[in-house]
Amino acid sequence: MTPAPSDPRVTAVILTHNRAAGVAQTAERVLRLSRPASVIVIDSGSTDGTAEHLAACVPEIEVVTLPTNVGASGRNAGVERARTPYVALCDDDTWWAPGAMSRAADLLDAHPRLAVVVARILVGPEESLDATCVRMAASPLPRSAAVPGIPILGFMAGASVVRRSAFLAAGGFEPRFFLGGEEMLLAVDLAAAGWALAYVPEIVVYHHPSRLRDARLRARVCARNALWFAWLRRPAPCALRESLRIVRDACCDASLLPALIEALCGLPWVLRRRRVVPPDVERGLRLIGA
C-alpha cells in the first residue's frame, strides 16, 4: 500500500532528555504513521548520546541539540524552527494516530480563532483513557459554534497541535516553569489574547509512559508552578487561596517544602511579570475550579 502523502501544514516537534532509545522509536512512529511535513526532535541537554542515536536510526528527521536541559521551553525552539502554520507537540513517549495531525490541521484551518487542539490520550498497551481527558470532556465552559469540540482552559502539551503564530505571539512556554503544569500559563495567556482552545476526542494520541521519570520531583515542580501561576495571573484573593492550599499540602508532605522555598525565591520575578487575566478568563478559571 502506498503511504499517505505528508501534510504540508504540520511539523511535529518532539521534546526529549536522556531517553535515546525511546525517542528514536517515537520519532519513527510519528514520521511513518502521522506523516507530518517534517519532524524536529529537541534534544534538551541529553548526555546519553541521543543525537547520535537518532542520526543513526532515523536520519530523515532534524535534531536540534540544546546545551542544557531547559524543560518544556525546549519546545519553543522547535516551534520557532518550524515553517508550517501548525505544530504538533509530542513528548518522547507520545505519538499521534494516523490522520490525527491532519484532522487537527483541518479544524485549525476552519476556525481562525482556534489556537490549540488537544487530542484524546490513550495510555499504555491497554489504551486506557487518560484521567486528564475525563476532566477536559467534563469542561463546564460554555460551548460555541465558533469552537469545535469542547472548550478548555488548559491542555496537555504532548497531545496538542498549536497554531504557530498564536503560540509564538503568546511567548510559548515560560522557561522558569521547567516541566510540570507549564501549560496553564500559556493557556490563559492565549485566552486573554482572544484565542480558543479545544479538546477534540475524535483525534487520538497514544501515550506509553516512560519509566525514566522522577515522580517526586515532578510533584514539587508542579506545586511551585501552581503558586507562580496564581501569583502571576490570578486576582489577589484567588492567589491567596492557592497559596494557603499549597502551604497546607506542604504541612502534610514535607517533600513539598522546597516548592514553597523555590516559589518565594522567584517572587521578585513574579511581581515584575504579574498581569491579572481579564474578567472573562477569570470567570472561566472559576468555572473549571482552578
Residue 92 near residue 134, CB atoms below 8 Å: no
Domains in the chain: ranges and CATH: 7-207 (3.90.550.10), 215-287 (no CATH)
Euclidean distance between CA atoms 72 and 181, whole angstroms: 10
pLDDT in tens, 165-194: 999 999 999 999 999 999 999 999 999 999
Cell numbers linked to 221: 515542580
| DSSP summary character for residue 3 | P
Cell numbers linked to 107: 479544524
Cell numbers linked to 52: 547520535
Res. 28: pLDDT tops 90: yes
Euclidean distance between CA atoms 92 and 90, whole angstroms: 6
Per-residue model confidence (pLDDT) at position 3: 64
Euclidean distance between CA atoms 122 and 19, whole angstroms: 21
State how beta strands 128-129 and 159-163 pair: unpaired
- Indicate the pTM of the whole model: 0.95
Q: What would the mean pLDDT of 148-172 be, rounded to a whole number?
A: 97
Burial (0-12, 13-18, 19+ Cβ within 10 Å), 208 = middle
Q: What would the mean pLDDT of 202-215 be, rounded to a whole number?
A: 88
Mean pLDDT value across the chain:
95
Return all residues near 198 (Cβ < 8 A) that are at least 6 apart: 107, 114, 116, 117, 118, 147, 148, 149, 150, 151, 152
Per-residue model confidence (pLDDT) at position 214: 78
Taking the CA atoms of 10, 11, 16 and 20 in sequence, report the sign of the dihedral they define. positive
pLDDT in tens, 60-79: 999 999 999 999 999 999 99
Residue 51 near residue 65, CB atoms below 8 Å: yes
DSSP H helical segments within the chain, as ranges?
20-29, 50-57, 74-81, 100-110, 131-137, 164-169, 183-192, 215-233, 236-252, 257-265, 267-273, 279-287
Res. 26: pLDDT tops 60: yes
Per-residue model confidence (pLDDT) at position 78: 98
Instruction: Tell me the pLDDT band of 35, cut-offs 50, 70 and 90.
Output: very high
Among residues 222, 241, 217, 227, which one has the least CA distance to residue 274?
227
Task: Identify the weakest region by mean pLDDT among 4-8, 17-21, 117-121, 154-158.
Answer: 4-8
Per-residue model confidence (pLDDT) at position 1: 41
Among residues 89, 113, 120, 65, which one has the least CA distance to residue 10?
89
Q: What would the mean pLDDT of 48-62 be, rounded to a whole number?
A: 97
pLDDT in tens, 223-269: 999 999 999 999 999 999 999 998 898 888 888 899 999 999 999 99
Q: What would the mean pLDDT of 188-212 be, rounded to a whole number?
A: 95
